[in-house]
Amino acid sequence: MPQTIVIAGATGDLGERIARVLIDQGAEVRVLTRTASGSAVSDGLGAPGAKILPVDYTDADELKRAVGGADAVVSALSGLAPVILDSQTRLLMAAVAAGVPRFIPSDYSLDHTTIKDRSNRNLQLRRDFRTILDAAPVRATSVLNGAFADMLTGVAPLVLFGRKRVLYWHDADQPMAFTTKDDVAGYTAHAALDPDAPRFLRIAGDTVSSRDLAAIMTDLSGDTYRLLYAGGIGSLRLMARAGQAFSGTSEDLYPAWQGMQYFGNMFSGDGAFHVLDNGRYGTRAWTSARDVLRDR
């Protein structure tokens, strides 16, 4: 009998990918959407077989009915405290009230269990939610994947393609985990169907340093990419605090200073993985940093 998995946040990039993988694996998928966004999600996921359920996250009874009978609830919600703490807690409480046995929170990050307290605004929300989740009578599994690999070719200033430089702070040889969203989605789908999944699963599509990235780009492009020292961890965190103070109560999910906080956790090593669970669901072809950079 196929398992029933409820997904919250399927209007987002990662959530939709998770839903599609689960459908491909034969699961019965229910996608929770806020009432106003239901039609948009139906256009994207309705045809493959997902059941779209527009819900009001402030209505506890409606949420309980929406998740009732499910084998697991997967959260891919994205936002600040009103989403990660408030809406996600309501979703968790609905799952508990409905007797759903398993819950996967919206973590999908480097190891926020080992970073310094209050060193990263977005990850602190996940640390705070972890306290709520661990007190709930439900089997929880967090998927931690390092940084999303699109950081290597996106707006985050790590690989400076125009200048043929790769930035680093503190240590050019600090290992950093990168995983593509497709790899995260595929692995999360397996975890959602796994009744024995542990509390934390740590994965990395690739683990590379800034020095490794410079060598990869030199090999791929034929041009010499050099390392560029950007400062120490202390100066990076000072700039992040200054940027946060200057922005005040900004509701931007990814302001520049948030990126600085994330780089601080990466280059200090305090969010690094020391053991990986990549092989828990069998052998898969993980996308490497080289693959991502080559495809650019």
What are residue 51's DSSP bridge partners?
A: 30
Check residue 249 and give its pLDDT: 72
Give dist(CA 70, CA 6) in Å, integer.
7
Q: Are residues 256 and 193 in the same domain?
A: no
288 part of a folded domain: no
Range of the domain at 245: 151-173+208-268
Strand pairing report for 139-140 and 102-104: parallel
**What is the identity of the amino acid at 260?**
M
Q: Give yes or no for a contact between 120 and 262, defined as CB atoms under 8 angstroms apart.
A: yes
Share of the chain above pLDDT 90, in %: 90
The pTM assigned to this predicted structure is 0.95
Check residue 49 and give its pLDDT: 86
Could you tell me the pLDDT band of residue 126, with boundaries at 50, 70 and 90? very high
Q: Are residues 13 and 43 in the same domain?
A: yes
Q: Are residues 64 and 15 in the same domain?
A: yes
Give dist(CA 282, CA 186) in Å, integer.
12
Give dist(CA 13, CA 190) in Å, integer.
18
Edge-to-edge order in the sheet of strand 206-208: 147-148, 176-179, 206-208
Q: Are residues 19 and 56 in the same domain?
A: yes
Map residue 212 onto helix, strand or coil: helix
Q: Are residues 157 and 56 in the same domain?
A: no
140-163 residue pLDDT tens: 999 999 999 999 998 788 999 999
Give dist(CA 209, CA 33) in Å, integer.
38
284 part of a folded domain: no
The helix, strand and coil proportions of the chain, stated in percent and rounded to the nearest 5, come to 45, 15, 40
Q: Are residues 39 and 96 in the same domain?
A: yes
Q: Are residues 27 and 101 in the same domain?
A: yes
The full DSSP string for 1-45 is ---EEEEE-TTSHHHHHHHHHHHHTT-EEEEEEEGGGHHHHIIII
160-219 residue pLDDT tens: 999 999 999 999 999 999 999 999 999 999 999 999 999 999 999 999 999 999 999 999
Residue 46 has pLDDT above 90, yes or no: no
Could you tell me the pLDDT band of residue 243, with boundaries at 50, 70 and 90? very high
Secondary structure letter of residue 99 according to DSSP: T
The full DSSP string for 150-192 is GGGTSSSTTEETTTTEEEESS-TT--EEEE-HHHHHHHHHHHH
295 part of a folded domain: no
What are residue 213's DSSP bridge partners?
A: none
292 part of a folded domain: no
Give dist(CA 236, CA 228) in Å, integer.
14
As a whole number, the mean pLDDT across the chain is 94
Nearest residue to 147 via CA among 175, 128, 170, 169: 175
Q: Are residues 108 and 70 in the same domain?
A: yes
71 part of a folded domain: yes
Q: Are residues 194 and 71 in the same domain?
A: yes
Show the CA angle centred on residue 185, arms to residues 142 and 70, nearest 5°: 65
Residue 96 has pLDDT above 70, yes or no: yes
Q: Are residues 134 and 70 in the same domain?
A: yes
Q: Give yes or no for a contact between 136 and 92, defined as CB atoms under 8 angstroms apart.
A: yes
Q: How many domains does the chain have?
A: 2
72 part of a folded domain: yes
